[in-house]
Structure 1
Amino acid sequence: MSGDTPSRILLVAKERTLRTLLERLLVGRGFDVVDGGSGVDAVALLGSAAPIDLVICERTGPGIDEVAMFEEIRRHPDHGRVPILALPPADPECTVHALEAGVSDCLAKPFHPTEFLSRVERLARPEAA
């Protein structure tokens, strides 16, 4: 991405409150946020939306679980290399499953907003890191 165009982030979070909070943090940092809805919606959006620089996934909701969504993204011919930041619960097993499914990084909940934004910057704007 050029310095003039904001990085686009596809945000998938089941809980509306968390989604709103994360979106505010991201927009405040200059990112363009696309609401990914459920995991099924997020995978469909990858195929039809403008290029996405990062996928952030907390919980997918009904229809597809997080690991299946990560695997589906990795199989996508055009978006298989998009970085994915998973926000699993503080359970090592969840983190391992996410990493095995191909996510780029995991940040277990609860997390500090500064650490969240630091990881997002590193993944969405690697040239700035």
Structure 2
Amino acid sequence: MSGDTPSRILLVAKETTLRGLLERLLVARGFVVVDGGSGRDTVALLGSAGPIALVICERTGPGLDEVALFEEIRRHPEHGRVPILALPPADPECTVHALEAGVSDCLAKPFHPAEFVARVERLAGPAAA
């Protein structure tokens, strides 16, 4: 990744071990990670988050499911066109629901870290802007 200002990624991951791993992978590639919290926290955060290059969503907490979160992001006036990378379980039905809700790409768990980084860079890297 190159450029003067690192791309900011909003990361929503309920499972703390996975969140830590994803954050380390992203930071190592030069991204700035913004903790998206739970689904409700994420929606509230969008108004004050500043520029976001990509939203990555693994799982939300109680109160707002992932599909509802994707729909909320798509309706947001400032961030409605930001790419979303969903990390659903390896279940085709979950992937279909995420794609129908407007995500840009899905990467089913479990996945290889190199594939995760490649998809993130495709969606949020300088060429994606």
One fold, TM greater than 0.5?
yes
Task: Tell me the matched-pair count.
Answer: 128
Deviation at 1:35, TM superposition (A): 0.5
Q: CA deviation at 1:128?
A: 6.5
Gapped regions of structure 1 (runs ≥ 5): none
Residue 98 of structure 2 corresponds to which residue in structure 1? 98
| Counterparts of residues 75-94 of structure 1 (less than 5 Å) | 75-94=75-94
Cα offset, 1:50, TM superposition:
1.4
Deviations 1:14-43 (A, max 9, x none): 010000000000000100000101011111
Query: Which residue number in structure 2 is paired with residue 107 of structure 1?
Result: 107
List runs of 5+ in structure 2 lacking aligned partners.
none
- The question of whether the paired residues in 1 share the 8 Å contact of 2:3 and 2:126 is answered with no
- What value does the CA root-mean-square deviation take over the aligned residues? 1.4
TM-score (norm 1): 0.96
Counterpart Cα distance in 2 of 1:49 and 1:62 = 21
- Deviation at 1:49? 1.3
TM-score using structure 2 length: 0.96
Give 4+ residue runs of structure 1 displaced > 3 Å after superposition: none
Correspondence 1:110-129 to 2 at 5 A:
110-125=110-125, 127=127
